[in-house]
């Protein structure tokens, strides 16, 4: 997000949501996995993700309105995260597992975080598609280094605008942000320092690779940060599970 206060509110919201989801999941650890478990887990966690998606979407919409100032497009209607979709996610995570372990809880919590961010990022992309005043979108990591995949994507700068080009880049555990870059702010947008760090890392990776293929660049980016710590989202989940 472009506004620091709304960004902080979004991060606090996601942190609280993670804690609530993990709290709901902890009571299932050690139980056998069957259809009833999947149904109960989905019901126990979906309400948390639904609430997080709605509030997060509102933060993202307020940020958009502050960027354009007047005559905003309507907010995005949230329809993607259905009961059936969430149940299918839980089923996929628990498939071929007999017992609900801490690892299962961790994976479901990561999925919950992903779908919470889906509404936030979806609102930003929807506004960008409908309102040319917000310009393009840059992927920003406020606490670099990002993972190799994100570093590669973030190095491109403000090139994203469509739902297809930006939302496809979001993955589980992704902590990067989507920032509006209106015309004339290409050298001053919030988080541009992160873009420059990613650009430098990308250039070094290309130079160190043989042919500069994506696979080679990703490998070199990983070698640049062999001691990169586990991401903040996973740290929060593990801490909540152990608490």
Per-residue pLDDT for 137 more than 60? yes
Burial 199-223 (b: 16+ CB within 10 A, else e): eebbeebbeebeeeeeeebbebbee
Band of pLDDT at residue 162, cut at 50, 70 and 90:
low
CA distance 120 to 10: 9
Q: What is the token pair recorded at 51? A: 């609430």
Give strand pairing partners of 138.
179
Say if residue 70 is exposed, middle or buried (CB neighbours under 10 Å; 0-12, 13-18, 19+): exposed
CA distance 188 to 191: 8
62-115, pLDDT tens digit by residue?
999 999 999 999 999 999 999 999 999 999 999 989 999 999 999 999 999 999
Per-residue pLDDT for 204 more than 90? yes
pLDDT at 242: 83
Per-residue pLDDT for 166 more than 70? no
Mean pLDDT of the region 50-62: 98
Band of pLDDT at residue 34, cut at 50, 70 and 90:
very high
Alpha helix stretches (DSSP H) within the chain: 4-26, 35-68, 83-94, 102-130, 148-154, 163-166, 192-208, 214-224, 232-242
**Percent of the chain scoring above 90 in pLDDT:** 78
C-alpha 189 chain-centroid distance: 20
pTM: 0.91
Per-residue pLDDT for 147 more than 70? yes
Q: What is the token pair recorded at 172? A: 């589980």
Per-residue pLDDT for 215 more than 70? yes
DSSP code per residue over 190-225: TTHHHHHHHHHHHHHHHHHSSS--HHHHHHHHHHH-
């Amino acid at each position: 997000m472009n506004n620091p206060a709304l960004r902080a509110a979004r991060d606090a919201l996601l942190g609280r949501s993670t804690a609530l989801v993990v709290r709901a999941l902890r009571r299932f650890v050690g139980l056998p996995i069957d259809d009833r478990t999947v149904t109960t887990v989905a019901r126990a966690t979906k309400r948390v993700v639904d609430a997080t998606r709605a509030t997060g979407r509102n933060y993202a919409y307020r940020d958009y309105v502050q960027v354009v100032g007047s005559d905003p497009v309507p907010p995005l209607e949230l329809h993607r995260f259905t009961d059936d979709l969430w149940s299918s996610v839980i089923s996929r995570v628990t498939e071929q597992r007999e017992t609900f372990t801490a690892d299962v809880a961790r994976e479901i919590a990561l999925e919950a975080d992903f779908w919470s961010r889906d509404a936030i990022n979806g609102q930003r992309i929807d506004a960008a598609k409908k309102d040319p005043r917000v310009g393009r979108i840059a992927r920003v990591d406020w606490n670099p280094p990002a993972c190799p995949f994100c570093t590669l994507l973030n190095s491109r700068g403000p090139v994203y605008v469509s739902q297809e080009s930006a939302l496809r880049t979001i993955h589980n555990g992704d902590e990067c942000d989507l920032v509006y870059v209106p015309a004339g702010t290409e050298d001053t947008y919030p988080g541009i320092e992160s873009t420059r760090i990613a650009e430098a890392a990308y250039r070094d990776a290309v130079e160190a690779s043989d042919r500069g293929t994506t696979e080679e660049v990703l490998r070199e980016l990983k070698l640049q940060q062999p001691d990169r710590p586990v991401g903040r989202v996973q740290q929060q989940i593990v801490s909540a599970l152990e608490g």
